[in-house]
Copies of this chain bind each other. A is one copy, B any other.
Amino acid sequence: MHNTLGTVFQLTTYGASHGQAIGGIVTGCPAGIELDLEFIQKELDRRKPGQSKITTQRKEADEVLFLSGIFEGKTTGTPIAFQIENTNTRSKDYSHIKTVFRPSHADFTYQKKYGIRDYRGGGRSSARETANWVVAGAIAKQIISKMTINAFTSSVGSIFIDKPYQALDFSKTESNIVRCPDSDTAGKMIARIEEIKKQGDTVGGTVTCVIKNVPVGLGEPVFNKLHAALGQAMLSINAVKGFEYGSGFCGAKMTGSAHNDLFNADGTTKSNLSGGIQGGISNGMDIYFRVAFKPVATLMQEQETIDEAGNIVKMQGKGRHDPCVVPRAVVIVESLAAMVMADFSLLNKLTKI
């Protein structure tokens, strides 16, 4: 029950970063959808390591193979299983952490919880898992093809885009390696990441996501509110520390008279500080939210930590790691958002007879 996301459109996943493969099963995908498999692979390519000088140099082919659920190009309504081989695993890169707990990683908690862990590359706790989500998200995008989902890097460290999302041209997001649609800010972000990388350090950032053309009525009160489901999904991403939608934490500083989102005669609203959701249900306006990522915990600097016996030991990151996870996270955020929106689109068919 813990390895499944969604209520109707469901993804159940498996896999550790250094096992034979990762993969998943998508159930609840409606029958008769013509799936563009090339698009799914392209989405996966957006996530894969080694794309640019600011991401890990680890090369993973990340080719997705579908095993079921598609017949003559269309979904059959039966489970869609897929798998991605782990081809370029350098497990020996991890032998130094076999008995060592890396700071701010899940080594310690997995070991204590389960009494056993696959220490290679973080095992099940590795962000490699998110490749599975991108596959399912790329399927979900094809179910809700009328909506558009655009995520982008909105900050790296202290460098923020200082414009509202409405002023951005999302077609430029993929035009630079940091996936920031504002080219000036993108330049500064890239410079910052390169600087951080040189220091063997890492840096955090935020991803903002905007969903347009959302029909009114998606969301299921009271414990399956649309924004709560989006939040739960985003908080599942490795390294995420916060989620806000609409006015978010800023809204908590405002007065009601400034914050209230007044109606136009046609039912649209004026400020959309609501973030497209009222009472947990979409109101037809743009949904937008922001996700906070902490800096990657693996440093190319020496750090002190402990081993299983409780000895203080020194360690330094080996392997190939991202100095900033945010650019690659953009497609992950979009994918989870697509899964949630597809799920709630289907759920809403149950509202009336």
Chain B proximity of A140: nearest CB distance (Å): 12
Across the interface, do B14 and A80 meet the contact criterion of CB distance under 8 Å? yes
Q: A243-B231, A278-B105 are in contact. Are A257 and B125 (CB under 8 A)?
A: no
Any B CB within 8 A of the CB of A167: no
Any B CB within 8 A of the CB of A164: no
Chain B proximity of A160: nearest CB distance (Å): 9
Report the Cα distance A346→B8, complex, angstroms.
12
- Which of B125, B217, B245, B299 touches A241 (beta carbons < 8 Å)? B245
Query: Interface digits, A287-301 against B, CB 8 Å rule (1 contact, 0 not)?
Result: 000001111111101
Within 8 A of B (CB), among A69-109: 69, 71-72, 74, 76-81, 83, 101, 103-106, 108-109
Any B CB within 8 A of the CB of A117: yes
Across the interface, do B104 and A278 meet the contact criterion of CB distance under 8 Å? yes
Task: Count residues of A near B (Cβ-Cβ below 8 Å).
Answer: 149
Across the interface, do B235 and A242 meet the contact criterion of CB distance under 8 Å? no
Q: A4-B223, A236-B225, A245-B241 are in contact. Are A299 and B16 (CB under 8 A)?
A: no
Across the interface, do A243 and B246 meet the contact criterion of CB distance under 8 Å? no
Kindly specify which of A46-54, A178-186, A304-312 makes contact with the partner chain. A304-312
Centre residue among A72, A76, A349 by max chain B CB count within 10 A? A76
- Which of B105, B266, B346 touches A310 (beta carbons < 8 Å)? B266
Across the interface, do A15 and B81 meet the contact criterion of CB distance under 8 Å? yes
Contacts of A223 in B (CB 8 A): 2-5, 236
Across the interface, do B306 and A265 meet the contact criterion of CB distance under 8 Å? yes
Any B CB within 8 A of the CB of A254: yes
Contacts of A349 in B (CB 8 A): 349-350
Report the Cα distance A264→B220, complex, angstroms.
44
Contacts of A83 in B (CB 8 A): 67, 83
Report the Cα distance A33→B118, complex, angstroms.
14
Could you write out 8 A-B pairs with CB less than 8 Å apart? A15-B79, A21-B81, A103-B260, A104-B274, A104-B278, A112-B217, A204-B251, A242-B244
Contacts of A31 in B (CB 8 A): 113-116, 351-352
Contacts of A101 in B (CB 8 A): 263, 267
A interface residues, Cβ below 8 angstroms from B: 1-5, 7-8, 10, 12-16, 19-25, 27-28, 30-33, 65, 67-69, 71-72, 74, 76-81, 83, 101, 103-106, 108-110, 112-118, 123-125, 129, 143, 155, 157-158, 196, 199, 201-206, 216-217, 219-225, 227-229, 231-233, 235-236, 238, 241-249, 251-267, 269, 273-275, 277-283, 292-299, 301, 303-306, 310-312, 346, 348-353
The residue in chain B whose Cβ has the minimal distance to the Cβ of A304 is: B262
Across the interface, do B232 and A242 meet the contact criterion of CB distance under 8 Å? no
Contacts of A206 in B (CB 8 A): 249, 252
Report the Cα distance A202→B241, complex, angstroms.
29
Across the interface, do B295 and A30 meet the contact criterion of CB distance under 8 Å? no
Chain B proximity of A332: nearest CB distance (Å): 13
Chain B proximity of A95: nearest CB distance (Å): 14
Across the interface, do A113 and B256 meet the contact criterion of CB distance under 8 Å? no
Chain B proximity of A196: nearest CB distance (Å): 7
Report the Cα distance A32→B113, complex, angstroms.
11
Known: A13-B79, A68-B124, A124-B221. 19 other contacts (CB 8 A): A1-B10, A16-B71, A16-B78, A20-B65, A31-B115, A32-B352, A71-B118, A103-B262, A109-B217, A109-B279, A203-B254, A232-B232, A244-B244, A247-B294, A251-B295, A252-B294, A260-B303, A267-B310, A350-B350
